[in-house]
Amino acid sequence: MNSLTESILSRVQTRKIPSSSFVRTWTLGSSHAKIAARYFSYAIQKHFVEDEKKKDLYSHFQLQSALQLLGTMGYLRGAIMKIGQLIANLPQIMPGELIEIFESLQFEAPPMHYSLIREVFLDELGRDPEEIFASFEKNAFAAASLGQVHRAKLHNGKEVAVKVQYPNIAETIEADIKILSVLLQTMRFKKDFQYLGAHVQDAKSVFLNEVDYLSEAAFMEKNRKIFTDSKIVVPRLYPEFTTTRVLTMEYLPGKHLQSFLATNPPLSRRNHFAELISYSFVHSWFSLRTVYADLHPGNFVLMQDGRLGFIDFGCYRQFDVERWKLQVDGELAMFQDDRDALKFYLTRLAMRETSADLDPEWVDLFMRQLRWVIAPVLKTGPFDFSRTEYVKQGADLLMESVRQGHVRIDPFYNWSNRALLGHRSLMYRLRCKFDYSSLYLTEMKQFT
């Protein structure tokens, strides 16, 4: 946590997360009003300063606005904080120093006070943490949108990481979705409104599944099996100390991405971990037919011995048989430039009857997005993920997609898009250059 964010986030540690829709709406509204007031002040001041100072004035406005949002998201947590985490996965959307502020929400969010965490233990396991473990550190070493993580030691001497869910976090998700649903009613007469509602309800189901730590534990165990004897380390689960809201796993020592990059590692070392992160994503995708949709720095630990710790498994979507066949056929069509097969893929994706029903504007945008996504796969040999033009193109396509607002699309693919965006963001930050094509196509051929 840097000096800019520490004072703001420390203020919310002892405050209970509000679960009331009214309080959460009021808090968001107050935050937006403060940002609007700052913009009004900036808009006036810029007319009274020299041209060379206008840029500094605007940068100050951006910084103060980002800090305001950070404090609000840190207090509300839940689905609201996930928006901040998504912003941190958007390089080139805003200045780097602002991205760093939102990046703190990925694993350096303000931890809840120990007294609030103790209540969760009493509700879930019927005992204080000090009774369950040989030792338990009251200060969390990591915290994010739904819970925080404490170091502890079992009575057999094993070091463990104990993830504890924030009190009332499921209620906050319900409240946020309710707020969003009410706001969306103003658009109910617009074209394809019913599909927008489907996206919201799909997000609700995924977020509520994420607060079920037993579901996360099951997915973590599946991944631990498929990465056995590889350089990907998935923590061992301790089911006797795991419930719906408490998850106890093996503690993995190492550095998160920010700390790793701060050591100025050579390209070979950056490439090494970039390949491992890519392998963890692609291998899980193909072998388990699952989208791991939460690729951000807080969910990986870069270990001193060169292994990669894969430590969080809450947000995922499982392909059903029909979707998996469509996905595989669609990817083959892309690589083979099979126009008829691609039209069928896009028709199903957009939930249309025939390809003649497709919106040409949407098809054009989607094809450009597809070409951006598969560029590293089509490239023979090393692909340079640090190229500014590649990253900027992806950011521009995302913003164009938001502006066009096409919502008649299977909500399932929001999560694969989020996963791909997270992967490309991680690769960009690592400034890596390696043969992604061979890695991806090898996995694809093995499991399809």
pLDDT higher than threshold 60 for residue 6: no
Least reliable range by pLDDT among 91-105, 120-134, 157-171, 265-279: 91-105
- Choose among 176, 177, 175: nearest CA to 200: 177
Q: Are 216 and 247 in contact (CB under 8 A)?
A: yes
Top-confidence residue, 301 or 192 = 301
Report the SS3 class of residue 166.
Answer: coil
Task: State how far the Cα of 155 lies from the Cα of 137, in Å rounded to an integer.
Answer: 14
pLDDT at 34: 53
- In tens, the pLDDT along 170-193 reads 888 887 777 667 666 665 656 677
Beta strand 433-434 pairing with 316-318: unpaired
What's the token pair of residue 144?
Answer: 């994010």
Cα angle 60-61-64, degrees, rounded to a multiple of 5: 85
| Bigger pLDDT: 246 vs 296 | 246
Residues linked to residue 246 through DSSP beta bridges, in sequence order: 164
Considering the chain, what is the average pLDDT of its residues? 82
Q: What is the per-residue pLDDT for 395?
A: 80
Tokens of 300: 């990986």
- The pLDDT value given to residue 40: 44
Tell me the two tokens of residue 62: 């951006």
pLDDT attached to residue 335: 87
Supply the angle between the helices 193-210 and 78-88 in degrees, to the nearest 10. 100
Greatest mean pLDDT range, 115-119, 150-154, 176-180, 418-422: 150-154
In the chain, the percentage of residues whose pLDDT exceeds 90 is 51
Predicted confidence at residue 63, as pLDDT, reads 55
Whose structure tokens read 């700390």? 259
SS (H, E, C) 15-72: CCCCCCHHHHHHHHHHHHHHHHHHHHHHHHHHHHCCHHHHHHHHHHHHHHHHHHHHHH
3-state secondary structure 379-445: CCCCEECCCHHHHHHHHHHHHHHHHHCCCCCCCCHHHHHHHHHHHHHHHHHHCCEECHHHHHHHHHH
Residue entry with tokens 């605007």? 58
CA distance 293 to 414: 9
- Provide the whole-model pTM: 0.78
**Per-residue confidence (pLDDT) for residue 336, from 0 to 100:** 87
Question: What pLDDT does 39 receive?
Answer: 44
414: amino acid identity, one letter: N
Dist CA 333 CA 330 (whole Å): 5
Q: What single-letter DSSP state applies at residue 110?
A: P
Instruction: Between 378 and 93, name the one with better pLDDT.
Output: 378
- Tens-digit pLDDT profile for residues 268-300: 999 999 999 999 999 999 999 999 998 988 899
pLDDT for the residue 75: 59
Q: Is the dihedral of CA 2, 13, 22, 106 positive or negative?
A: positive
Residue 143 pLDDT exceeds 60: yes
Mean pLDDT of 125-154: 91
Assess whether pLDDT exceeds 50 at residue 447: yes
pLDDT tens digit sequence for 7-34 = 555 555 556 666 555 555 545 555 544 5
Q: Which two tokens stand for residue 352?
A: 């249309």
Q: Nearest 10 degrees: CA dihedral of 257, 260, 265, 271?
A: -30
- Tokens 């896009």 map to which residue? 346
Backbone phi, then psi, for 165, in 5-degree steps? -75, 145
What angle, 0 to 180 degrees and rounded to 10, lies between the N-to-C axes of helices 193-210 and 413-430?
Answer: 60
Query: Using CB atoms within 10 A of its CB, is residue 302 exposed (0-12), middle (13-18) or buried (19+)?
Result: buried
Q: What is the pLDDT of residue 231?
A: 97
